[in-house]
Amino acid sequence: MRIYFAGSIRGGRQYADVYAEVVKNMQLAGHTVLSEHVGNPELKETLSNRKIFMRDIEWLSQADVVIADVSLPSLGVGFELAYAAYELGIPVFCFAQASANVSAMITGNSLLNLSRYEITFDYVESVLSLLQEIDIPDEDERGDNGF
Ligand code: 6IA
């Protein structure tokens, strides 16, 4: 499956190691993680903001599913979630640490499928079993989402 993994970059890199663990395990399970750099704790970008934006929009449009870590408030992640869910009609699954103070725009939105995790091991297990279970809609069935 082609996965877009969204996680905070300018919103804070405190959990970059957690993102890296999730990305690595999705790859080990045979998935393609289009945005694998989000999990790179050493991330250094040389692209312009415009090129980053255009590249990420292109990857989102190629993705079968979006997995997002919303433990940190990130404008970029919030934008990606809304774009994927409402513009592209891609299934979106959000994960947050148990104690994270997540925006009501995420917690109150059933389309974004928020789950909580205590430890990274459980997080990885949840993501992998979710990816085994989900049924990806055909492209012509996308874009018909309500709230
Ligand atoms: O607002 P944020 O920066 O926290 O937004 C993070 C989200 O936007 C991630 O899920 C990424 O997919 C996307 N994004 C934001 N910035 C970048 C980036 N470089 N490279 C790739 N994706 C990005 C920014 C430069 C960095 C070294 C600070």
The CA 49 to ligand 1 mean position distance, Å, reads 9
140: Cα within 13 Å, side-chain hemisphere? 0
Q: Which residues, at least 6 apart from 127, have a Cβ–Cβ distance to it below 8 Å?
A: 22, 25, 26, 67, 93, 95
Tens-level pLDDT at each residue, the chain (147 residues) = 999 999 999 999 999 999 999 999 999 999 999 999 898 888 887 889 999 999 999 999 999 999 999 999 999 999 999 999 999 999 999 999 999 999 999 999 999 999 999 999 999 999 999 999 987 766 666 655 566
52 lines ligand 1 (CB under 6 A): yes
Q: How far is CA 122 from CA 1, 22, 24, 127, 129, in A?
A: 21, 10, 15, 9, 11
